[in-house]
Amino acid sequence: MSQRINPELKKELLKFGAKDWNDCYHCGNCTATCQLTEREILFPRKAIRQAQMGLTESLASNADPWLCYYCGDCSDTCPRDANPGEIMMTLRRYLTSVYDWTGFSGMLYKSAKAHIVVMLVLFLSVVAAFLIFGGPMITELTSDGGVRLNTFAPAEIIAGIDHIVLLTLSFFLLTNMINMYYKVVLKDKTVHIPWYLYFTEIGEALLNFGTQLRFSKCNKSRMYWFGHWFLMIGYVTMFVLIIFFLSWFQTDNINVWYHPQRLIGYIITAGFLFGTIFFMIGRIRKKKQIFKHSHHSDWIFVVLLFLVAFSGILIHIFRINGLPFATYYTYVAHLAFEIPMVVTFVAFSKWSHLAYRPLAIYFSNMKKKTRELQLKSKLSVSY
Amino acid sequence: MEEIKIGVYVCWCGTNIAKMVDVDQVVDQIKFLPDVAVARNYKYMCSDPGQDMIIRDIKQHHLNRVVVAACSPRIHELTFRKALAKAGLNPMMFQMANIREQVAWVHTDREKATKKAVSLVHAAINRVKWHESLDKRTIEVNPATLVIGGGVAGMSAALEIANAGKQVYLVEKSKKLGGYAAQLDLTFPHFYSARQLIKPMIRHVEDHKNIRIFKPMQINQIFGYMGNFQSTLQLANGDETKLKFGNIIVATGLQPFDPSEITSYNYGKLPDVVTSLEFEKMLAKGRIETCEGKEPKNVAIIHCVGSRNANYHEYCSRTCCMTALKFANQIRSALPESNIFDLYADMRSFGKGCEELYTQTSRKNVIFLRFDQQNGLPEIRSTNGEEAVSMLIEFTEQFSKEQVEVPADLVILMVAMESHADAKDISHIAGISMCGNSFFIEKHPKLDPVATTSDGVFIVGTCQAPKDIPDSISQAKAAAARVLATIHVGTIEVDVITATVNEDICCGCQTCVSVCPYKAISFNKEKGVSEVNEILCKGCGTCGSTCPTGAIRSRHFTDQQILSQIQGLLSPDNKFEKM
Amino acid sequence: MAERNERPKIKLAVYWGAACGGCCVSVLDVHEKLFDVVANADLVFWPIALDIKYNDVEAMPDQDIDVTLFNGAIRNSENKHMARLLRQKTKILVAYGSCAHLGGIPGLANLSTKTEIFDRIYKESESTNNPNHTRPLEKYEVKEGTLTLPEFFNDVRTLAQTVDVDYYLPGCPPQTERLLEVFMAIVSGDELPPRGKVLGATDKSQCDECPRKKSDKKTIKEFHRPWEINDDGETCFLEQGVLCMGPATRSGCGHRCIEVNAPCRGCYGPAPDVIDPGAKMMSSVATMIDGDTSETIEKILENVIDPAGYFYRFSMPASILRRKIPENLQAQAPLQK
Amino acid sequence: MDFEPTIVSFLCNWCSYTGADLAGTSRMKYSPNIRIIRVMCSGRIDPTFVLEAFKNGADGVLLCGCHPGDCHYQSGNYKCLRRYNMLKKYFVQLGIRPERIRLDWISASEGKQFANLADSFTETIRHLGPCKIKNVIETYT
């Protein structure tokens, strides 16, 4: 079956941040430079070609962009300055919107305005919710001089709300993941994956989820990989703490500084601050390849994350120093920053790659193995 | 008769010959042949020391014949003939054995190659014994020049010669000067208007006092030889005019390939499939439109139509890729919202400004798709009005290996450049050879791409090979320089290899008269014998093998020379069975 | 006359090899001039006219005979023996007539092998009645003694291919006038032309003297046999599509054939420098064919039924390839497709 | 040892000889049994040459000229073709396989075709076996 070329795809992709990719004339240098290219996985070139040609269907079933960690080698060495790394980045944004059946993702990515409006609405909703449902603002301090935050915002209630948000977002993320499975695996008629591969190949995907070992294969310094990993682990830990252990994490009494609650909090927050400042400076200076091109979603993401971390620190400082009103207002602000970030990014934007990357590794490995098996059986027949 | 003394020289050509032919053995085997006075081998016979060796030997050993076994006589026969002349010997007392191109480079068995080399040298020795002294003759050059073809190449050559103050006769078959270049809209890569470039040139040619233009005019016959050609032209008013000229520049140009040969493109059946030339005309008119007069939403350009394909023409037509990019640019500026698809086999953008044009075009939202010439060309089919788009082009895209279909409302076929159909007639009239693909053959593909094997006849422009305008003009001006050089010298030497009639034997049967393609033989009624005009004769030797009495001798290719060559070649010692 | 009588008479021999006898008759055709001959020469050997045996010739001293006119080709061992014997006994050996010169009509037997010839004569021919399959034997014992026949050679050769020849006098038969001229030249004692020369014929070929009109329009669209055309008696035969060996044949015969509206058949042999007159004429005639493709050329050539017999009518044994190459010697393998 | 034929080839100067040179400059390999004699035009090839080659022991004779219509001398190749057809008829009468002579067209650009022709003709002749003409002329009386 022939695939109809869709000349509109290109215009669509431009909105996701792409630039002139017709500069690429397929010399193959990017594929040659890339450390992650394998026999069956010829990125970035293959995906770039599909994008160039307007092959909407082929692109939707191509998981390759998720296997790229944007080290920037290809863009650095591209003889035509076609910026393949950034094209892969754009395609990740595009694919996120392709997997998202609600269309919300596409809206956020394609329009900075929409994204900001959505966030503003959420921000104001959180503030309004506190105005309406917020507990009394007690000025009385605890015995050890801390602010009684749990009276203003009881951890159980906040955790309850967190759970609701989590469930909702999980629903969307999960359905998007199923959609990805449908597009990448089921629609690809060239491979029929044997059932046992689903079990044998899951290990590597999980390992990569935890360690991002693939990223370490990229040609950049270890520091880079570590920074990314640290940020990811920090975020996941914080996510788990806030969702499942908020009562333990959000206490009124002040623990000693070496208490695990405070230590973990410090380490993660420091990481967040360091990471977000590092990214912001990078994006401003545009020296490194990966920082050269910033989409609005990139900016919103780092700024919000910075604000969340920064406001979290402020809450902590105000609370242990017994400044009740400052603590309450900052807390409201903290949640008003966090909720929009979680809602827009987890299932519909940048953070969803946390799920898509390991899935892509999983699907790609299964496909690769299946193809090898097919090739073997073909050879055994002919001999 | 003086005693025959032959010097035989076997060249190693570095390792070129020595690697496959045992040159020592060749010398050992032939040095005892009768009449061989000296036999040597040397690293490079054509080098100065090599030639000096021959000259020294001629003087020392009083040699009167020389055989050199080396490369093809087409390369160095003249070199060695000059060496003989330098030594005071008639240059024709020389024979070459081709043991490089026809032995060392084509065989793999050293023993057999050596044996074959010996037989070729033996044949040359046998032949050279019968060689005769022949003397060069010089004739005067007529300073006028005939230019055939009034395209951009022909006009450039004509102007160059006319500006030097020499008479030019420019013959153009059609009613207008300018050729195909005048039909183009813009030129690549700088988008100059072709008309603005060509028009002043035409005016200049038409107004030039040294250029006499004949159009529309076809040339039917040219008599004569380098320096002294003549032709009679039939004028429109019934008069005849007789032209005399010393040189001919042929610029018959190109014709576009007819794409209806390629069935998958459905040219001629689908009205919106047009050739590049038709599209140029559309552009010149100022509006890109489909047959229904609508603006096309999707425009596809297909490269290599008839080029680089063994079924049509194997050669690359050189200009189509860049013209296609030029089209893409013109379409983009005329129809900013259109989708442009460029279907190519390889993007060939060599030369100044061309890669730049490609880069520039690739940034204009043109979708480049690569097809494979070998495994099925794209197929254009109609949607029969079932879709918004009128045609679909189906093929396997080579980078993605995806089977795709491209929507198109207008398809432009970048048709190949062919040598003009009239070139065949002109090749007979002017005596130029054609290669398999109907382009004229130049004298040497590397060293002399302007001249032909017929002295005084030059080829310029696309009749020699596909070319763009600047290349055609360069070649035209080069040819003009060559012509002016011969006019400046004023005389030329003519070949000595001609036929001659022995009047004591000729019986006057006149069989030879009609055999000669150059009308060089005539019957002398008074003497009752045939006579050869040795200036008209080009030495093909056909009359020699036609004459039933042996009265006609083909000089330097006499029966006796060739028969002894055969006998040498087949000397029993040189057979493989004797190995 | 007195002067002539002062010189001693020369000794003249005439012998025939494989020949029809026409040459000997042509010698007799000198008519009354025979007296001039006899006045100048003693006929010492002439089997057709004189009863002189081979033994008598053998008994002659070497170089005793001044001139021998040897006519006929060398077909068998007897011809060869006599050629050698006469060479030994003769000062000037003249190959007389087409057969001695080029092989002549008997030479056409070279287009058949010996076996084919014998089969034809002793087995296949319509008039043969040979139930016992009798074949000639070189030796046959009878009670009176041994009967012998000369050996029949595999092929016919010319005199020059057998022994050294001093002069050639071509023709089938040679023109008697030419014979007389040559004979008189020899007896006159003047300096003789260089050895090996053809006498009694010009260096130019027939067309030079041919009375028919020639032009350069020698294009043949169709070959004809002489009776197939409405001959105007004036136009060159070749221009009418009739094969004529005139252009490749020496003049000297007085174009007797053409005089009676028959094309030249080539008995006077080739011009001086021509090695193989048949090949030259084949080349010349082929060039005249009006066709540029194999098909049209082959179509036109269909009417040339017997090129060997035509172009080599008198010269087969003297030609480059001389004869048919017997099949059994020609190792033949089926052609690979 | 396999029978190694000796083949004489007459090539016209402008197309075929140049084509054979091209085979050389392109380093194409072909059978060494082919030995080339250059003539200016295939129209110069006289049947006498062909007969002389066989007489001297050639097992095959290859004639090459410019393609029809492309003759450097306009029409010499047609004359060659006519003589070739005539000669083949004569060969049949002499009991010689007419396949022993071949006429083919080789242009100046057809180096590959020349190499292929040389090989295929050598194979044809190898298959036909040695030509006995020389032997017969010299020994068979």
Residue B68: other Cβ atoms inside 10 A: 30
Q: Which residue of B has its CA nearest to A4?
A: B405
Q: Which chain A residues are within 8 Å of B300, Cβ to Cβ? A: none
Closest Cα to residue B11, out of B104, B90, B74, B92?
A: B104
Closest Cα to residue B55, out of B88, B95, B90, B8?
A: B88
* Arithmetic mean of pLDDT, B154-161: 97
Residues in CB range of B443: below 8 A, 6 or more apart: B449, B450, B451, B452, B453
With tokens 């039909």, the residue in question is: B183
Compute the nearest-CA separation of C159 from chain B (Å). 23
Write out pLDDT tens, residues A35-46: 888 776 777 888
Q: In angstroms, rounded to a whole number, what is the distance separating the alpha carbons of residues B94 and B85?
A: 10
Q: How many CA atoms lie within 13 A of B120 on its CB side?
A: 34
Residues in CB range of B157: below 8 A, 6 or more apart: B147, B249, B251, B460, B476, B477, B479, B480, B483
Closest Cα to residue D131, out of C333, B245, B60?
A: C333
Q: Which chain D residues are within 8 Å of C336, Cβ to Cβ? A: 123-124, 127
Write out pLDDT tens, residues A102-127: 999 999 999 999 999 999 999 999 99
* Arithmetic mean of pLDDT, B387-395: 94
Radius of gyration of chain A (CA): 23
Q: Is B191 an 8 Å CB contact of chain D? A: no
Subunits with 3+ Cβ pairs within 8 Å of B are A, C, D
Residue A285: other Cβ atoms inside 10 A: 10
Q: In angstroms, rounded to a whole number, what is the distance separating the alpha carbons of residues B78 and B47?
A: 13
Please indicate, yes or no, whether residues A356 and A306 belong to a single structural domain of this protein. yes
Q: Is the pLDDT of residue A217 over 80?
A: no
Closest Cα to residue B65, out of B48, B78, B42, B84?
A: B84
Question: Is C275 in contact with B563 (Cβ distance < 8 A)?
Answer: yes
- CATH annotation of B145-253+420-492: 3.50.50.60
Task: Say whether the A–C interface has 3 or more Cβ pairs within 8 Å.
Answer: no
Q: In angstroms, rounded to a whole number, what is the distance separating the alpha carbons of residues A62 and A55?
A: 11
DSSP secondary structure letters along C64-113 = -EEEEEEESBEEEHHHHHHHHHHHHHEEEEEEESHHHHH-TGGGGGGGS-
Question: Is D48 in contact with C336 (Cβ distance < 8 A)?
Answer: no
* Arithmetic mean of pLDDT, B348-365: 90
Q: Two tokens at B142?
A: 């007529």
CATH code at A68? 1.10.1060.10
- Do residues C242 and C263 touch, judged by C-beta distance below 8 A? yes
**Its pTM surpasses 0.80:** no
Buried b (16+ CB within 10 A) or exposed e, A76-112: eebebebbbbbbbbbbbbbbbbbbbeeebbbebbbee
Nearest to B436 among D20, D23, D110 (CB): D110
Confidence at B1, pLDDT banded by 50, 70, 90? low
* Arithmetic mean of pLDDT, B135-155: 93
Buried b (16+ CB within 10 A) or exposed e, C79-115: bbebbebbbbbbebbbbbbbbbbbbbbbbbbbbbbee
Task: Say whether the A–D interface has 3 or more Cβ pairs within 8 Å.
Answer: no
B6-136: CATH topology is Rossmann fold (3.40.50)
Of B135 and B325, the one with more pLDDT: B325
Q: In angstroms, rounded to a whole number, what is the distance separating the alpha carbons of residues B372 and B404?
A: 13
Closest Cα to residue B188, out of B333, B299, B303, B328?
A: B328
pLDDT number for residue D141: 63
Of C43 and B576, the one with more pLDDT: C43
Contacts 24+ apart (CB under 8 A), B571-579: B571/B119, B571/B122, B572/D57, B573/B29, B573/B118, B574/B115, B574/B116, B574/B118, B574/B119, B574/B122, B575/D4, B575/D6, B575/D57, B576/B112, B576/B115, B576/D4, B576/D6, B576/D32, B576/D33, B577/D1, B577/D4, B579/B111, B579/B112, B579/B115
Top CATH class, D7-139: alpha beta
- Do residues B119 and B431 touch, judged by C-beta distance below 8 A? no
Closest Cα to residue C219, out of C290, C269, C285, C149?
A: C290
Top CATH class, B499-555: alpha beta
Residue C90's DSSP bridge partners are C65
- CATH annotation of C2-106+154-198: 3.40.50.700
pLDDT number for residue C331: 41
Most D CBs within 10 A among C157, C306, C330, C337, hence the mutation to make, goes to: C330
Residues in CB range of B117: below 8 A, 6 or more apart: B10, B21, B26, B69, B97, B99, B103, B104
Q: In angstroms, rounded to a whole number, what is the distance separating the alpha carbons of residues C309 and B1?
A: 41
State percent of chain B over pLDDT 70.
Answer: 99
Q: Is the pLDDT of residue B138 over 90?
A: no
- Could you say which residues from 219 to 238 on chain B have a Cβ atom under 8 Å away from some Cβ of chain D? none
Task: Say whether the D–B interface has 3 or more Cβ pairs within 8 Å.
Answer: yes
Q: Which of A99, A131, A158 is the last residue of a domain?
A: A99
- Do residues B387 and B405 touch, judged by C-beta distance below 8 A? no
Question: Is B549 in contact with C280 (Cβ distance < 8 A)?
Answer: yes
Q: In angstroms, rounded to a whole number, what is the distance separating the alpha carbons of residues B252 and B476?
A: 12
Query: What is the domain partition of chain B in residue ranges?
Result: 6-136, 145-253+420-492, 256-417, 499-555
DSSP H helices, B335-384, are 354-362
Query: What is the domain partition of chain C in residue ranges?
Result: 2-106+154-198, 119-153, 206-311
* Arithmetic mean of pLDDT, B361-374: 90
Please indicate, yes or no, whether residues A263 and A290 belong to a single structural domain of this protein. yes
Mean pLDDT, chain A, as a whole number?
A: 86
Asked if residue A375 belongs to a domain, the reply is: no
Confidence at A346, pLDDT banded by 50, 70, 90? confident
Residue B399: other Cβ atoms inside 10 A: 19
pLDDT number for residue A383: 45
Q: Two tokens at B159?
A: 């102007």
Residue D38's DSSP bridge partners are D11
- Do residues B541 and D41 touch, judged by C-beta distance below 8 A? yes
Please indicate, yes or no, whether residues A214 and A317 belong to a single structural domain of this protein. yes
pLDDT number for residue D26: 92
Write out pLDDT tens, residues B414-458: 999 999 999 989 988 888 888 777 899 888 888 899 998 788 999
Q: Two tokens at B324?
A: 């296609």
pLDDT number for residue A152: 86
Q: Is the pLDDT of residue B243 over 60?
A: yes
Strand B223-225 versus strand B211-214 pairing type: unpaired
Please indicate, yes or no, whether residues A174 and A64 belong to a single structural domain of this protein. no
pLDDT number for residue A243: 80
Asked if residue A29 belongs to a domain, the reply is: yes
Q: Which residue of D has its CA nearest to B108?
A: D29
* Arithmetic mean of pLDDT, B335-354: 93
Q: H/E/C letters for each residue in C175-197?
A: CHHHHHHHHHHHHCCCCCCCCCE
For residue B445, how far is the Cα from the chain centroid?
7
Q: Which chain B residues are within 8 Å of D39, Cβ to Cβ? A: 541, 557, 562
Given CATH 3.50.50.60, say whether it is the number of domain B256-417.
yes
Q: In angstroms, rounded to a whole number, what is the distance separating the alpha carbons of residues C30 and C183?
A: 11
Q: In angstroms, rounded to a whole number, what is the distance separating the alpha carbons of residues A193 and B576?
A: 66
Question: Is C283 in contact with D48 (Cβ distance < 8 A)?
Answer: yes
Question: Is D29 in contact with B570 (Cβ distance < 8 A)?
Answer: no
Please indicate, yes or no, whether residues A193 and A278 belong to a single structural domain of this protein. yes
The sheet that has B228-234: what strands, in order across it? B223-225, B228-234, B240-245
Q: In angstroms, rounded to a whole number, what is the distance separating the alpha carbons of residues A226 and A216?
A: 8
* Arithmetic mean of pLDDT, B242-249: 95
Q: Is B513 an 8 Å CB contact of chain C? A: yes
Output the CA torsion sign for B426, B428, B430, B431.
Answer: positive
Q: Is B436 an 8 Å CB contact of chain D? A: yes
Mean pLDDT, chain B, as a whole number?
A: 93
Write out pLDDT tens, residues A294-329: 888 888 988 988 998 899 889 988 988 888 889 899
pLDDT number for residue A221: 62
Round to the nearest angstrom and report the end-to-end CA distance of chain B: 38
pLDDT number for residue C329: 58
Q: Two tokens at C63?
A: 């170089």
Q: Two tokens at A199?
A: 């079990």
Query: How far is CA B188 from each of CA A16, A62, B193, B351, B366, rounded to the nearest angstrom?
Result: 35, 39, 9, 11, 17
Q: In angstroms, rounded to a whole number, what is the distance separating the alpha carbons of residues C87 and B467?
A: 77
pLDDT number for residue A319: 87
Closest Cα to residue A94, out of A152, A136, A54, A134?
A: A54
Q: Which residue numbers in chain C have pLDDT < 70?
A: 1-7, 326-337
Please indicate, yes or no, whether residues A352 and A222 belong to a single structural domain of this protein. yes
Query: What is the domain partition of chain D in residue ranges?
Result: 7-139
Question: Is B436 in contact with D37 (Cβ distance < 8 A)?
Answer: no
Please indicate, yes or no, whether residues A157 and A26 belong to a single structural domain of this protein. no
Confidence at A380, pLDDT banded by 50, 70, 90? low
The sheet that has B339-344: what strands, in order across it? B273-275, B410-415, B298-305, B339-344, B366-370
Which residue range forms the structural domain that includes residue A108?
104-365
Torsion, CA B167, CA B171, CA B172, CA B176, rounded to 10:
40
- Do residues B477 and B156 touch, judged by C-beta distance below 8 A? yes
Most D CBs within 10 A among B78, B95, B102, B579, hence the mutation to make, goes to: B102
Q: Which residue of C has its CA nearest to D130?
A: C331
Closest Cα to residue B541, out of C249, C250, C248, C283?
A: C283
Question: Is A5 in contact with B404 (Cβ distance < 8 A)?
Answer: yes
Q: How many domains does chain A have?
A: 2
